[in-house]
Amino acid sequence: MDIQQPLSLLGGLTPAQFMRRHWQKKPLLVRQAIPQFSPPVQRAELFALAAHEGVESRLVQRVKGAWKLRHGPFSRRALPSLQQPDWTLLVQGVDLHNDAVHALLQQFRFVPDARLDDLMISYASPDGGVGPHFDSYDVFLLQAHGQRRWRIGRQKDLTLRDGLPLKVLENFEPEEEYVLEPGDMLYLPPRYAHDGIAQGECMTYSIGFRAPARAELAQELMARLAEDAADDDNTPLYADAGQPAVPHAAAIPANLQDFARAALTRALAQPQALERALGEYLTEPKASVWFEPGDPGVMLEGVRLDRRTRMMYDAKHVFINGESYLAGGRDATLMRRLADERQLAARDLARASDDALELLSSWCDAGWAHTWSA
Ligand code: SIN
Ligand code: CO
């Protein structure tokens, strides 16, 4: 993506300016971010998705002032009637199920893929909303259908109301208010308080991000490094030829502590071990994702990644759906292009090595990529 090109999506800012001025810092309201926006998912299609096992959905309702939360799947009959006010259906990860929604998400790839999470769609009946709250992640709230009144604020007091099934702020102090029309978009940094109330029937698309917590990263990476260590054949036993007799048998020897520390240091010090573990972790498909084995096809015209495939790279590796490959030279250039563009044209394939073609073909077999014509 050209990060110096002003975008109407960002209200005329370039991606570079947006990231510098707003990302993780301050909100941005963009009127007509997508002019004449024609939402790719209609109400009936959203309800059908919410009925699926393997699609994460939630229903938030306020009944006589009390907040209620239920988790899907929801049959159509399990949803309140359209005439009933004050309910919201939220469907997570719609980009995994719909090509047009996946394409819409691609417009936000001025943020690294490693940070992009999913596109959630909410449907609200009149007056529906999920209450004043804050999220831990950045979000772009794109109005898709109808109007929503957003009240937002910097909110110092993050106390939540007790005993509710969802996070609702105890003392919301809004500072600004906007009514969003279809095509309008509001960016909010993490922890910025917001409350969106549907003015009539309304659909909002949330472009959401992920940010690993330090503890989660440590846990994930150490688990992967531990697997590598278990594969290490050259693994000496602790030896203590110099161990003197001890008067206090229960005390752990300092030498054994040193040995343990050296074992961990060694696991971490393996060249590229950490980078490989990180790339594999970041490209792990979502738990609900299941690839259908593909048609081997012939890759004459080109190849494109499946919308559910996660592909990234670093200086030495290419990662795809939790697997890593060491790549260098022309093949690395080609695979990086595939990861960035999510497709390769016939002319790219014409220059690919046999090894690269074989790999691409195995990814097509696995359903991770598709030949152009498929
Ligand atoms: C919604 O779309 O109803 C909620 C989105 C949000 O507040 O994060
Ligand atoms: Co929110």
Query: Helix 214-230 vs helix 254-269: angle between axes, to the nearest 10 degrees?
Result: 90
Per-residue pLDDT tens over the stretch 46-84? 999 999 999 999 999 999 989 999 999 999 999 999 999
Confidence of residue 373 (pLDDT cuts 50, 70, 90): low
Share of the chain above pLDDT 90, in %: 91
Is the same domain home to 197 and 312? no
Q: Is the pLDDT confidence value at 39 over 60?
A: yes
Q: Is the pLDDT confidence value at 299 over 80?
A: no
Asked if the structure places residue 240 within a domain, the reply is no
Q: Is the pLDDT confidence value at 181 over 80?
A: yes
**Which amino acid residue places its CA nearest to atom 5 of ligand 1?**
206
Give the tokens for residue 298. 């012939």
Is the same domain home to 261 and 158? no
| SS3 category, 158 | coil
Is the same domain home to 96 and 200? yes
Q: Which atom of ligand 1 is nearest to the CA of 204?
A: 2
Q: What is the mean pLDDT of residues 264-282?
A: 93
Is the same domain home to 165 and 221? no
| SS3 category, 279 | helix
Is the same domain home to 77 and 151? yes
At residue 297, the pLDDT reads 65
Dihedral of alpha carbons 362, 366, 369, 374, sign: positive
State the distance from the centre of ligand 1 to the C-alpha of 196, rounded, in angstroms.
7
State the distance from the centre of ligand 1 to the C-alpha of 220, rounded, in angstroms.
29
Per-residue pLDDT tens over the stretch 98-126? 999 999 999 999 999 999 999 999 999 99
Is the same domain home to 306 and 338? yes
Is the same domain home to 178 and 54? yes
State the distance from the centre of ligand 2 to the C-alpha of 135, rounded, in angstroms.
5
Per-residue pLDDT tens over the stretch 238-256? 999 999 999 999 999 999 9
Q: Which atom of ligand 1 is nearest to the CA of 130?
A: 3
State the distance from the centre of ligand 2 to the C-alpha of 307, rounded, in angstroms.
25
CATH number at residue 186: 2.60.120.650
Q: Annotate 80-132 with DSSP letters as a single string.
A: PPTTS-SEEEEE--GGGT-HHHHHHHHTTTTS-TTTEEEEEEEEE-TT----S
The rounded distance, in Å, linking the Cα atoms of 144 and 204 is: 5
Residue to probe by mutation, ligand 1, list 62, 120, 180, 207, most atoms within 8 Å of CB: 120
Least confident range of 83-97, 184-198, 219-233: 219-233
Asked if the structure places residue 191 within a domain, the reply is yes
Is the same domain home to 46 and 87? yes
Q: Is the pLDDT confidence value at 228 over 90?
A: no
At residue 296, the pLDDT reads 66
Instruction: Return the number of other C-beta atoms located less than 10 Å from residue 318's C-beta.
Output: 24
State the distance from the centre of ligand 1 to the C-alpha of 111, rounded, in angstroms.
21
Q: Which atom of ligand 1 is nearest to the CA of 139?
A: 8
Share of the chain above pLDDT 70, in %: 98
CATH number at residue 292: 3.40.366.30
At residue 231, the pLDDT reads 85
Q: Is the pLDDT confidence value at 282 over 70?
A: yes
User: Which ligand has the shortest distance to the CA of 120?
Assistant: 1
Asked if the structure places residue 82 within a domain, the reply is yes
Q: Which of 137-141, 263-267, 289-293 has the highest mean pLDDT?
A: 137-141
At residue 358, the pLDDT reads 93
Is the same domain home to 308 and 263? no
At residue 294, the pLDDT reads 86
The rounded distance, in Å, linking the Cα atoms of 177 and 37 is: 22
> Residues with beta carbon inside 6 Å of ligand 1?
88, 122, 124, 130, 135, 139, 194, 196, 204, 206
Per-residue pLDDT tens over the stretch 200-217? 999 999 999 999 999 999
Q: Which letter does DSSP use for residue 136 in this model?
A: S
User: Which ligand has the shortest distance to the CA of 148?
Assistant: 1
Per-residue pLDDT tens over the stretch 156-179? 999 999 999 999 999 999 999 999
| SS3 category, 258 | helix
Asked if the structure places residue 248 within a domain, the reply is no
- The boundaries of the domain holding residue 96 are 8-209
**Which amino acid residue places its CA nearest to atom 4 of ligand 1?**
130
Q: Which atom of ligand 1 is nearest to the CA of 195?
A: 7
Q: Which letter does DSSP use for residue 169 in this model?
A: B
At residue 372, the pLDDT reads 80
Q: Give the residues across from 58 on adjacent strands.
A: 71, 90
The rounded distance, in Å, linking the Cα atoms of 120 and 107 is: 15
- Give the chain's mean pLDDT: 95
State the distance from the centre of ligand 1 to the C-alpha of 205, rounded, in angstroms.
8
Q: What is the mean pLDDT of residues 337-362?
A: 94
Domain count, the chain: 3
The rounded distance, in Å, linking the Cα atoms of 294 and 306 is: 10
Is the same domain home to 192 and 105? yes
Q: Is the pLDDT confidence value at 10 over 90?
A: yes
Asked if the structure places residue 88 within a domain, the reply is yes
Q: Which letter does DSSP use for residue 96 in this model?
A: G
User: Which ligand has the shortest distance to the CA of 88?
Assistant: 1
The rounded distance, in Å, linking the Cα atoms of 29 and 181 is: 12
Asked if the structure places residue 133 within a domain, the reply is yes
Q: Give the residues across from 87 on adjacent strands.
A: 61
State the distance from the centre of ligand 1 to the C-alpha of 162, rounded, in angstroms.
20
Asked if the structure places residue 2 within a domain, the reply is no
At residue 336, the pLDDT reads 98
**Which amino acid residue places its CA nearest to atom 1 of ligand 1?**
122
Asked if the structure places residue 182 within a domain, the reply is yes
Is the same domain home to 294 and 179? no
Q: Annotate 34-81 with DSSP letters as a single string.
A: STT---SS-HHHHHHHHTSTTS-EEEEEEETTEEEEEES---GGGSPP
Is the preceding peptide bond at 236 cis, omega within 30 degrees of 0? Answer: no
Q: What is the mean pLDDT of residues 26-49?
A: 98
Is the same domain home to 168 and 265? no
Cβ(93)–Cβ(288) below 8 Å: yes
Q: Count of residues for the chain?
A: 374
At residue 232, the pLDDT reads 81
